[in-house]
Structure 1
Amino acid sequence: MDGVKAVDEVEAETGPRAGKTRLWDAAGGGQGVLVAIGILALTRAGQLLMIWWLGGATAEPRSIRERLLIWDGGWFLRVAMDGYPQGYTYDANGTLQGSELAFFPVYPMLIRAGAALGIEPSTAALAVAWLASIGAAIALHLLGTSLYGKRAGWALVAICCSAPASVVLSMAYSESIYIALVAGMLVAAHRRVWWAAGLLGLATALSRPTGAAAAIALAVAALLAVRESRKQAWRPLTAAAVALAGVPLFLGWVAWRVGEPSAWFKIQTAGWGTSFDFGSSTLDFLRTTLRTGDGWIPMSVALILLVALAAAGVALAQKPWLPLAVYGVIAMILVYGQAGFYHSKPRLLLPVLLTLLPAVVAASRARPRVAVLSIVAWALFGLWYGAYLVTVWPFTL
């Protein structure tokens, strides 16, 4: 279904004033937003229960709070409270190490703001992530409703927030705020609210490296708007320029702080083995895993990668709104094209959104009972899978 046509249908139902665009026109009313938040709350509560249940059977007892603060959470907290280091970090043997300079600044800044209000830093980290997940649910609902109708908005919230790596929406990770920002940016661009699109695009680009894909998508939306009407073309073009500046600004700042143009990339490679190798590491992982079947987690990650590729192909065949398609394709190239921890790839795919569209469209067109049962089955597996990763699985997400 064409995205613009869907908005016209929603506007016919909600009746916004002709010629006036607002971010909330496609929200399906306050009740629709409350339903989206309720869906999020169910997924979060269900997953916390699963973490508690699975965590009780492990040899290393940890509280739910401790499990939500592990791995990248520690890095974000150090950035928030201690700031970025002045240069490269080395171990005792003089080997370059990963450092806080690899982490983009929006989430740590919000943690620091919470701590400045007197909130304990780790509590502030979780509070920001949880509040951002509410924002993500609202933005996802707006996006799905804008493109395909109200039922699709709810389906997008349910499917995204119960995906296999959605446990990070409850953790001290930046995914919740990134999804809120990128989905909000896409909604603003689709509704032609350019001032909001530009600000959200800049914040998205300063949240994660894949914010570069979001900025390019906003540029595509701006060019489409200019092609349709050159009246006040400076608005969409300015919004795109602001968003496009985000990632280069941070990478340039890291380069200036360290004194080397490629500093950020060297830190990523030294700390996490992350480098762009045009997908050769991903292909090697898939080939080795599918041949040997060594462990069910590697096998499940391989299947997730293959299913996501197939879903993206189906989504593109359905001709989604072009900026969303551009964002999804570039984001997937960045995920599949880089070397790094294979078990982090499902988490990195979570904000792509393009891979979720076929299921979202199918759920919006199916009978309500069929759609609900299908999404519940998906959620039971996805929420359990994420809980397993932070309790039983010993490696980082």
Structure 2
Amino acid sequence: MRVVSRLVSTPARRETAGAVAVHLAVSVIGFTVLLLINRHLGHDVEWLLYRWDSGNYLRVAERGYPSFIPYRPDGTPDYTRLAFFPLVPALIRGVHLLTGLSFAHAGVLISWCAAAVAAAGVYRLVRSAGGGSGAGYACVALWSCSPYAFALWVPYSEAVFSALLVWTLVALVAGRWVTAGVLCLLAGAVRPTAVVLIATLLLTAGWAAVRGRDGWRPWLALVLAPLGLLGGWLYLGSRVGRWDGWFEAERAWGQSFDFGSGTVRYIGELLTYRDAPAAEDIRHAAVLAVVLLTAVAVLALALDRDVPRVLVVLVAGAWVLMMGTPSSHYSKPRFILPFLPVLLLLVARPLARAPLGVRICLYGGGAVVSGWYAAGLLVLFDGSP
């Protein structure tokens, strides 16, 4: 991407390439473990790649969006692919037509390429936030072997969204307003959770515009940032002939913002064992850890004066949105995945000082565990991860 290349100076490109190599090495280990376990359990690769959200994106790429919203007997909307934003299916279809790859393999190719671009952005973001090269490599490796990193390997939207989000942050920290606006526009066409990134850019660029910094550029960023999200909403609505079509379709997932009451109730049931089967599920422990540790990490980042304020605003907004949407508790750790590199700043800097052998064992072991856990999430467990 030409926009991305302008954000990376020539001397830093070798280091950035090293960070991408670290990401690919860790990801190959994790993905290999996932494929081996999937095969051991009697499933082929095609079946795995169509699991859960992957199947929805791939079928939109193959068949397009439906022209109606299905309803249940009680009058509430039933699940429909209108809830999935259009840029990733469009990319999958484009790669399929250009290369002749199957839709599933085209989706994998897009995810791996986008995740590599995201890894390069993570490294540059850590450097711009005051971390050294060691911290940059550590942050990339930890992100790549995190428990929900499987979403970077299969045709989910997280890899593309992560790439756009991270490079938008790099541009914002560097004061490249127009670049940030363009990348934020594209992010809005990938996932509706881009609302957090858009709000962060609007606050940052708006403050710069009010203070008269950088002339017209912050103003243009303010105009560009929300266009992708608005366009995605209107496009999906046009498929069913109503401007609020996406919002109506999204009701099936129960994702209306409730200011955290549903999530607090869910956490209370887990902590007091009122829902014993749920409390025994390893995924609920992961959700509980993500909700609580993210809150602690946001506070710690806010107290760290070396961290750019724009990053604190972003992760604080991500936590608020995660807390405020009560449904799909299993998906909360995956929701945090694109924002995770910012949170990992807290551990990447001290980890970078550990002996090389310790770091290699940690990353390699983490990759194996990530692939093993991915097999549970994608193959064994009930409910979309």
Do these two structures clear the TM 0.5 threshold for a shared fold by scoring above it? yes
Report 1:189-200 matches (<5 A): 189-200=172-183
Distance across 2 between alignment mates of 1:186 and 1:339? 27
Q: How many residues align?
A: 372
- 1:317 and 2:303 aligned: yes
Quote the residue 1:269 is aligned against.
Answer: 251
Quote the residue 1:327 is aligned against.
Answer: 314
Choose the corresponding residue for 2:234, options 241, 252, 259. 252
Structure 1 residue 371 displacement after superposition: 5.0
Quote the residue 2:276 is aligned against.
Answer: none
Query: Please, which moves more after superposition, 246-255 or 204-213?
Result: 246-255
Contact 2:32 2:371 in 1 (8 A): no
Distance across 2 between alignment mates of 1:306 and 1:162? 20
Deviations 1:184-238 (A, max 9, x none): 111122223333222111001111111111122222332454467634x211220
Structure 1 residue 78 displacement after superposition: 2.1
Shift in alpha-carbon separation, 1:83–1:351, aligned structure 2, 3 A: same
Contact 1:115 1:124 in 2 (8 A): yes
Shift in alpha-carbon separation, 1:28–1:167, aligned structure 2, 3 A: farther
Shift in alpha-carbon separation, 1:377–1:49, aligned structure 2, 3 A: closer
Contact 1:54 1:392 in 2 (8 A): no
Contact 1:316 1:325 in 2 (8 A): yes
Query: Gapped runs of 5+ residues in structure 2?
Result: 274-278
Shift in alpha-carbon separation, 1:269–1:167, aligned structure 2, 3 A: same
Contact 2:122 2:139 in 1 (8 A): yes
Quote the residue 2:89 is aligned against.
Answer: 108
Report 1:132-143 matches (<5 A): 132-143=114-125
Distance across 2 between alignment mates of 1:308 and 1:64? 34
Quote the residue 1:230 is aligned against.
Answer: 213
Contact 1:255 1:264 in 2 (8 A): yes
2:349 partner letter: V
Distance across 2 between alignment mates of 1:95 and 1:225? 44
- 1:294 and 2:275 aligned: no
Quote the residue 2:224 is aligned against.
Answer: 242
Deviations 1:341-372 (A, max 9, x none): 21111101111233322122332455655555
Choose the corresponding residue for 1:155, options 115, 131, 138. 138
Deviations 1:72-104 (A, max 9, x none): 111112222222222322368875212221111
Report 1:1-397 matches (<5 A): 22-25=6-9, 29-58=12-41, 61-90=42-71, 96-117=77-98, 118-148=100-130, 149-226=132-209, 230-231=213-214, 233-270=215-252, 272-292=253-273, 293-319=279-305, 320-353=307-340, 354-364=342-352, 368=356, 371-372=359-360, 374-376=362-364, 378-397=366-385
Query: Gapped runs of 5+ residues in structure 1?
Result: 1-20
Distance across 1 between alignment mates of 2:293 and 2:370? 14
Deviations 1:235-254 (A, max 9, x none): 12202320122222322343
Contact 2:108 2:153 in 1 (8 A): yes
Distance across 2 between alignment mates of 1:313 and 1:376? 30
Contact 2:135 2:352 in 1 (8 A): yes
Contact 1:47 1:384 in 2 (8 A): yes
Distance across 2 between alignment mates of 1:356 and 1:65? 33
Quote the residue 1:8 is aligned against.
Answer: none
2:165 partner letter: V
**Identical amino acids, percent of aligned pairs:** 30
Shift in alpha-carbon separation, 1:286–1:191, aligned structure 2, 3 A: same
Contact 1:140 1:153 in 2 (8 A): yes
Deviations 1:8-32 (A, max 9, x none): xxxxxxxxxxxxx94013x862321
Contact 1:115 1:121 in 2 (8 A): yes
Structure 1 residue 259 displacement after superposition: 4.5
Contact 1:141 1:156 in 2 (8 A): yes
1:317 partner letter: L
Contact 2:167 2:183 in 1 (8 A): yes
Deviations 1:248-291 (A, max 9, x none): 23223434543445432221121x23222211221122111222
Shift in alpha-carbon separation, 1:31–1:54, aligned structure 2, 3 A: same
TM-score (norm 1): 0.85
3-state DSSP of counterpart to 1:126: helix
Structure 1 residue 325 displacement after superposition: 1.5
RMSD: 2.6
Shift in alpha-carbon separation, 1:217–1:361, aligned structure 2, 3 A: farther
Distance across 1 between alignment mates of 2:200 and 2:133? 23
